[in-house]
Structure 1
Amino acid sequence: MIKKYTCQNGVRIVLEKIPTVRSVAIGLWIKTGSINETPDNNGISHFLEHMFFKGTTTRGAREIAESFDSIGGQVNAFTSKEYTCYYAKVLDNHASMALDVLSDMFFNSTFVEEELQKEKNVVYEEIKMYEDTPDDIVHDLLSRAVYENHPLGYPILGTEETLSTFTSETLKQYVHDMYTPDKLVVSIAGNVDESFIKEVEKLFGSYQRSDKARETTGRPSFHQNKLSRKKETEQAHLCLGFEGLHIGHKDVYSLIVMNNVLGGSMSSRLFQEVREQRGLAYSVYSYHSAYQDGGMVTIYSGTGANQLDVLYETIQNTLFQFKKEGITAKELKNSKEQLKGSLMLSLESTNSRMSRNGKNELMLGKHRSLDEIVEQIDQVTEESVFTLTNNIFTDNFSTALISPIEGWKGLK
């Protein structure tokens, strides 16, 4: 049973008590990510996530790390396009300590110059490491092709140029402007009772920050573009992007089933046709990214540059047959059972429950029970998947390619 509580200042707390475990997961979810950035401060959300671990007025960076290591706990964070999350997982008897350290990081990080410079070097190396993984950066290239100058097309890591401009003052101002109470959800899952809500409220329930009106970026438009980069790689990395559905869309479970059948598993159409039947690629898959005001279905595969034409034709032929035939009764049944199985297994993890509840509260403001989700999965039909397939896989798509050679005909 999920308990929801809204503090006087607007901070939302969601708690799911799980008495059968001995752990507690706590997450601070802030509705701020690269979508809230500008070309001048791109990457600041991610850099801020790093700096929250670099020391507070009472704890140094080492002390923050040791406070969790010494009790066998875990602490980490991540940044996405639309939100940032700081989270910890500890034994239930250390829950209060974990909450105290997370709140200290949230409110009292110092962003001192010495740590700032060291962490800039760390993120420079992270950007370089990312550049060495073309099968990752091709997805950023696709986002830029699809969303052009909208912030959804920005890379989460930012660039070396923007990173070099960040100062202690710019970080503090960004926190002041963006880490406001109305944007914060504290999600807890594990072996703690409702009294823990009072502990959270004591730490987070009274702070105030700027509520001045902030300019919005506007709804993202889906664009049809073809972008490529020449890079000395062993393979050509290809991404196709189609317009998908926003978070909370009524057809989202039909889309999840559709994606599962198309490229979400080893038995999927793309995996079987591209890898098993033709041996064209080691890696081939599809996935859906859902945002507040839009979504994208991505197909990725990597192959030798000399096989790029055959790979592209195989993907297009697979999509053509998929649109023409729809899915079979067996595929529908297997996909539904696979989804239910993944859902049930994820419920065994306090981290997964904390994440699910935090994201649902932050992005949707509501929570579905397990029975409600299973019911929605069961309502997916061959017809609903067929309709969605033909609505999504049109000629209006974008292409991104990273390849060791230039001039591939598919980009003309």
Structure 2
Amino acid sequence: MYNLFKLDNGLRVVVEDIEYVNSVSVGLWVENGSRNENTSNNGISHFIEHMLFKGTHDRTAKQIAESIEDVGGQLNAFTGREATCFYIKALDTYLELSLDILSDMLFNSNFLEDDIEKEKGVIFEEINMSEDSPEDVLADLHTKAIWDTDSISLPILGTMDTVKSFSKKMLVDYIDSYYIPENSVISISGKFDMKTIESLVQKYFGKWSCKNKKITEYSSPEILNKHYFRKKDIEQLHVSLGIPGVELGNDDTYALILLSNILGGGSSSLLFQKIREELGVCYSIYCYISAFKNTGIVSIYAGLSPTNAEVAIKAIKEEVRKFATIGIDNDRLFKAKEQLKGSYILGLESTSSRMFSNGRSVMFMNKINTPEDVIRKINDIDMSKVNAVMDKTFKRGIINSTYVGKENEMLKEVFEGKIISVDK
């Protein structure tokens, strides 16, 4: 059973009662991420996520962790481009404790100067670790090729310089502007009493208010035709190729996921069979979509030897062209729909996955997207829908790309000399 309600302060709450489980997952979602930032405060959303675990007026950092772990629960958080989420999964008897901990972290965190300076060192190590991962470097570089200077291209971790600049005042002022009830969602999934849940959430979050409110509004960035190369002394060349996608909340997303799966979603996909199995020129290759507010992209990733780059990339471009031109038949469409429904349903087998799904849906679309709704939308995909989505995505071809690895002059031939080398 689902329910969606709003507190007087504007905080949206989505709850899903699942009677047959003995656990509950609680998520505090804030529509704020690296896309809300600028070049001066880049990384502040991720930094705040860390600081909320560092102790409150009543609990030390250790006590925050112990309060959940000592009862067998899990406490964690993540920051993305458009949202930050703090979440707890525990036995259903600890629902109120979970709400208490999350509200305490949000409203009563200390932000001590010593903790801020220590956490800068932790974030520096996280940035260094990311820099040592060619896949992470590639992902950040590709956002620049897709959206250039728009804030959506800023790295989630920020930079060494921006993180160094963070002060207590900057952090507290930012929270007061962006961590506001109107921008936020509480998502609860699992076993609980539907009759008392509203009053329980009201108890811990009903008094939430802020002074300098900034309601999140995102731009509609153009998807650009840029090609970047970053030199790294590693054995493999890591490649990311971009095709225009669809924005978050667009029902075309389901048809696009279906097409993406056919092209590069697994070992039976067209790209895997052609590039890895038939040509043998790479180990890893796959396709995935990224959907954001007002924009979206389809990415093809490949990890391969630099000596195979020219053959592999030309073959990938040809496979995309053939896929967009020939399309799929009814038999392939039926199988792809069944595969998509199966993977979706299997992905909802836990209370935490249901909490994530509900929270994200209410956060960005202001509605509950039930499994029945999703299955119906997948079932409604027909050949006319497939062709319409193909026209505005894959038929436009690969329009941006990035590469991380050793110098390779052959790449410039593949993209007619358009590739630009960058340092960072």
Smaller-chain TM-score bracket: over 0.9
In structure 2, list runs of 5 or more residues that go unmatched: 418-424
CA contact (8 A) 1:15 1:197 kept: no
> Which one is further off, 213-222 or 251-260?
213-222
Q: How does 1:9-408 map to 2 (within 5 A)?
A: 9-194=9-194, 195-212=196-213, 218-393=219-394, 394-395=396-397, 397-407=399-409, 408=411
The alpha carbon displacement at 1:237 in A equals 0.8
Give 1:406 deviation, angstroms.
4.6
Counterpart-to-counterpart distance in 1, 2:19 and 2:65: 28
**Alpha-carbon displacement from aligned partner over 1:112-161 (angstroms, at most 9, x marks no partner):** 11111221111111111111110222111111111111011111111111
Equivalent residue letter for 2:79: T
SS in 1 for 2:222: coil
Shift of 1:230: 0.6
Count of residue pairs the alignment pairs up: 412
Residue identity in the other structure for 2:182: D
> How far is 1:396 from its partner?
6.2
Deviation of the 1:55 alpha carbon: 0.7
**8 A contact 2:242–2:398 mirrored in 1:** no
3-state SS, counterpart of residue 8 of structure 1: coil
Residue 327 (structure 1) shift: 1.5
Is 380-389 or 169-178 further displaced after alignment?
A: 380-389
Are the equivalent residues in 1 in contact too, given 2:146–2:223 (CA < 8 A)? yes
Distance 1:102 1:217 in 2: 27
Contact 2:180 2:213 in 1 (8 A): no
| Residues 239-276 of structure 1, C-alpha deviations (whole Å, 9 max, x = no match) | 11122111121312111111110111221111111111
Q: Which amino acid aligns with 2:111?
A: F
Q: What amino acid is the match of 1:376?
A: K
- Paired amino acid for 2:385: S
Shift of 1:206: 2.0
Instruction: Return the offset for 1:56.
Output: 0.6
Cα distance in 2 for partners of 1:8, 1:200 equals 12
In 2: Cα distance, 1:308 partner to 1:319 partner: 16
Contact 1:34–1:80, Cα closer than 8 Å, also in 2: yes
How has the CA–CA distance of structure 1 residues 326 and 395 changed in structure 2, closer, same or farther, with 3 Å as cutoff? closer
Shift of 1:365: 0.5
Q: Distance in 2 between matches of 1:209 and 1:260?
A: 43
Q: Could you say what secondary structure the match of 1:56 adopts? A: coil
Q: Cα deviations across residues 364-388 of structure 1 (Å, max 9, x unaligned)? A: 0112332222121111123422332
- Asked if 1 retains the 8 angstrom alpha-carbon contact of 2:262 and 2:336, the reply is yes
RMSD: 1.5
Percent identity among equivalent residues?
40
- Do the aligned partners of 2:246 and 2:295 also contact (CA within 8 Å) in 1? yes
Structure 1 counterpart of 2:134, which letter? P
Distance 2:332 2:385 in 1: 14
Give the whole-Å Cα distance in 2 for the aligned partners of 1:265 and 1:198. Answer: 46
Q: Is the 8 A contact 1:241 1:296 kept in 2?
A: yes
CA distance in 1, matches of 2:364, 2:216: 19
Q: Is the 8 A contact 2:263 2:269 kept in 1?
A: yes
Runs of 4+ in structure 1 deviating by more than 6 angstroms, as ranges, are: none
Task: Give structure 1 stretches of 5+ with no counterpart.
Answer: none
Distance in 2 of aligned mates of 1:71 and 1:256: 39
Q: Which amino acid aligns with 1:192?
A: F
Identify if the C-alpha distance between structure 1 residues 177 and 376 changes in structure 2 by more than 3 Å, giving closer, same or farther. Answer: same
- Contact 1:245-1:252 within 8 A present in 2 as well: yes
Inter-CA distance 217–332: structure 2 relative to 1 (3 Å threshold): closer
Deviation at 1:320, TM superposition (A): 1.4
Amino acid at match of 2:21: V
